[in-house]
A and B are shown apart, each in its own frame.
Chain A
Amino acid sequence: MAMAQVQKLSRKRVRGITVQNMFPNSQEWQVSVLNDDVNLASFVVLMLMRELGISQESATCLTLQIDELGGATVFTGLEDSCQALVKTFHSYGLQAIMEPVPQGAN
């Protein structure tokens, strides 16, 4: 699948809901999953499907993106939800990090 298509799909997923609409004064955070050479693709797909509630196709897109670009943003939201999600990802043994959404990214 073309990379532009992958990115478009995942952007649609990530931008499904924005914190800025609900809490205009709060900082928006994002969770990224980083690539590593040990975890298996099928395991990552399963984890994304379960924890983000997305379909196999979307999860496969994100996994491809993680594999080819070295990482992918999988979730955007409030700081607390991001912390909980990163904690869950770590319990699967995945390398996930969170950071504030860079200004002007939208």
Chain B
Amino acid sequence: MELASHNQQLRLRLMREEAELLSSLFTQLSLLFESYSEDSASADPLFAGLDFGGSAHAPQDPALARMLPEFSENSNYAQMMRMLYENSIIAQHRENLTLVMEQLNAHLFSDEHLQANIDKLRKDAFEQILPNENIVNDEALNEDTPYVELEDLLTAEEIAELKEFELEAANEDIKELNQLMLKRYSAKEAADIADLIEVSHPITLILSHTEALIWAKVTNMMRLSIAERIMEETGQELKQALKETAEPAHGVVFEWLGLFIDAVSQALISFRNETHIVSESEPL
């Protein structure tokens, strides 16, 4: 994942795996809202489709309860407010989710985009192995995998091993890259790194500031519900729960979403500082 400022907009680059993970997380969240609004929908079809009304009690699911909190400490007043506004808050959450999912899925599932990326990656791979262009003829480029020529020599298991080895090597490259990013580097190194990111992060989203805010909102929702799930599972406070959870992957996703939200928030704050002049003496 890479986030950069780009002509008054934010440019978000994602690896394919990251984009797929986000997409499936968003789908889960949207299903959660959908099932809840079906359960709590008014029996009267006239009111069912309106962004108005709500249920009388807080949701049982702690993740949903976190996303639809109480309006007040006074339970009567909180119930009244929930019955008035709950559906409109759900509608807003779902609207935000839809926008984000549309943007992401348009990139994930477009055939042209996918094919172009595969071609580019394959071409780059060949150029790195064989710097001399003359050796790579057109036929070789059109083959399905770079392993075709080896198939006669090696068994299927050996080829699988080879692929696994390459995957490990790629992972190590990424680790090295992360360490490189931490220290200062020269202009040429920076350009090389930028090129590498461009190849390894094929999905590029250009977000306006409003869209970036909606992305932050939705990923924050996602993060809240993951936190509730982890706490529910272990029955501990968040910090302890993150250590004890049976599925450390959830913790990793939680931290990763945190980094993303933090980066987007910092970017939007600095943008706001540049463009909005706030007078402290003015009333709210």
Contacts and interface: CB of A to CB of B under 8 A. Distances in A.
A31 B237 CA distance: 26
Nearest to A96: B69
Nearest to A29: B72
| Majority SS at the chain B contact face | helix
The CB with the most chain B CB atoms within 10 A, among A92, A93, A99, is that of: A93
A75 B70 CA distance: 18
A42 interface: yes
Contacts, number: 91
B280 A38 contact: no
B13 interface: no
A50 B70 contact: no
Contacts of B213: 46, 50
A3 interface: no
Interface residues of A, number: 33
Given A37-B239, A38-B227, A91-B89, A43 B284 contact: no
Contacts of A11: none
A87 B89 contact: yes
Interface string A62-105: 00000000000001010000010011001111011111000000
A91 B93 contact: yes
The CB with the most chain A CB atoms within 10 A, among B93, B227, B282, B284, is that of: B284
Contact of B284 (A37, A46, A56, A75): A75
A93 B73 contact: no
B262 A43 contact: yes
| Majority SS at the chain A contact face | mixed
Nearest to A12: B280
Interface string A1-19: 0000000000001001100
A56 B69 contact: no
B220 A87 contact: no
B207 to A, nearest CB: 15
A37 B258 CA distance: 12
B261 A43 contact: yes
A98 B261 contact: no
Contacts of A53: 278, 284
B92 interface: yes
Interface stretch (B31-39, B121-129, B154-162, B264-272): B264-272
A86 B89 CA distance: 11
Interface string B77-94: 000010001001100110
A62 to B, nearest CB: 12
A18 to B, nearest CB: 9
Contact of B265 (A40, A75, A91, A93): A40
Shortest 8 CB-CB contacts between residues of A and residues of B: A42-B265, A17-B283, A16-B283, A55-B278, A46-B265, A38-B227, A43-B265, A37-B238
Given A16-B282, A46-B269, 16 more contacts: A13-B284, A16-B284, A17-B283, A37-B238, A38-B223, A42-B262, A43-B262, A46-B213, A46-B272, A50-B213, A50-B272, A87-B85, A91-B96, A93-B221, A97-B72, A98-B72
Interface of B: 66-74, 81, 85, 88-89, 92-93, 96, 213, 216-217, 220-221, 223-224, 227, 237-239, 258, 261-262, 265-266, 268-269, 272-273, 278, 280, 282-284
10 contacts: A38-B238, A40-B220, A40-B258, A43-B216, A43-B220, A46-B216, A50-B272, A86-B81, A97-B70, A99-B74
